[in-house]
Amino acid sequence: MLEVKSIHALKGVRLAGTPPDSLWNLNIKHPEEDNSKGTIDSITPYSPSTALAEDIASSCPLVLPALTHPHIHLDKVFVHCAPEYADLLPSTGSFQEALSYTSRAKAQFTTPDLLRRGGWLIAESVASGVTAMRAYVEVDNAVQLTCLEAGIKLKETWKASCHVQLVCFAQDPIFSGPHGEENRRLMETAIRKPEVEVIGTTPYVEATTSDAKQNIEWAIDRAIERGKHLDFHLDYNLDGGKEALVWHVISMLHAKGWITKVPGKRVMLGHCTKLTLFSDEEWNRLATLIQEYGLPISFVGLPTSDIYMASPPAVSHSPPQVKPRGTLHVPDMIHKYGLDAVIGVNNVGNAFTPWGGPDPLSLACLGVGLYQKGTQTDAELLYECVSTRARAAIGLDGLSSGLSLQENQDADLLILYNVDETGLGISRARKTVAEFVWDPPGRISRDVAHASRLVIKPFASERAASSPATTVLFL
């Protein structure tokens, strides 16, 4: 298991929202009754005993709020990397194939297999700078409670370096099909476990719109009863002829009194690719309803999955090279409509998303091109969407936006160093948030602290030598 050490201070570091050439000290305070957890006590200017040479100063790291996965699947991750699933590699790349192959894979899931692949995901995420993740584990007739039990073990194993927020998740129908009733019964059992913080379902997999609406109402009722966050995979299509279920979600949350019955609990709507077909009038109506009802709703765009999977129904007269894809335009949702929206990784290494990895910083980089957002301010917003905004969206304490560290804030930090990644003795300094988003460095350039505990990596001594102006003080 990873070694972690409680830190007392970081000295000689850069901070977002300050001049690129200014250096600062972060001092951490720890409660007397628990010296393993801490918050930022003070932020003061760094005053070196001697003037720093320019090359030394440029090597000082940038310290930012840590990264967050607002939506990631823990149980079906890296299926393509495990030899027992070698016959389930994509052949057509269709959504139905992904559903079929995933069902076949789930029939082979075992606890050791789930712990191994889930451990890969969490390790790579933590090494990237993730200290919190909303992680989906499926419950249904095929896997019973096996995925959930593995998730609970992983949550405990990794608690010193990452908060794993478990979603008890119904990927399969709970009101239709031959196993709907059994799936619903298993979910009823699973959501009672105290380790489960979120109830999640997939209404669009139901056989009819009526069943999908029943799915939504069941999930809302259970979340209110159990006092848990709510999460829907919703409207994952680009079919203009289908009814958008987002309207039913909003009306039912309001009708059932969500904001008064479960104060502090949030609702996440994932994918929602159909909303990309909305007119400006529909977007304004959506935003107005959410704001008038005061609903704590966040949307999460999942671009690596969406641009691979979300395509419109085939049209015979469409030109052969026109292959539209859909994913929520998160920056526009925030700026134009005042909605709360973030971006997430979703799947890694399976038929739903065979490309990409679990690094949220790389996802922010993808957003620059995907959304055509190339300014420094845009880059900072995209970082927020995989960091502070994402953390707030899943209901964890912390800032809802902004990257400036503040006193009394939890010390969940990503420390980005300028190191030689070429192996050729040359290091190119990055000083600003935008430079790190536009061209993310590898994990070797990153340290992560969760609740003021620094994850110790084997190459930490090399990194310290590359930044002689920076000092980490341990308790």
What would the pLDDT profile of 333-391 be if each residue is shown by its tens digit?
999 999 999 999 999 999 999 999 999 999 999 999 999 999 999 999 999 999 999 99
Please give the pLDDT value at position 465.
46
The domains of the chain, with CATH numbers, are 4-65+403-474 (2.30.40.10), 67-373 (3.20.20.140)
Q: pTM of the entire structure?
A: 0.95
From residue 22, alpha-carbon distances to 12, 14, 25, 58, 428 in Å are: 9, 6, 11, 10, 18
Task: For residues 395-419, give the mean pLDDT.
Answer: 89
- Min mean pLDDT across 58-62, 97-101, 450-454, 461-465 is at 461-465
Please give the pLDDT value at position 216.
98
What would the pLDDT profile of 81-138 be if each residue is shown by its tens digit?
999 999 999 898 888 898 899 999 999 999 999 999 999 999 999 999 999 999 999 9
Please give the pLDDT value at position 35.
52
Task: For residues 25-50, give the mean pLDDT.
Answer: 82
- With cut-offs at 50, 70 and 90, classify the pLDDT of residue 244: very high
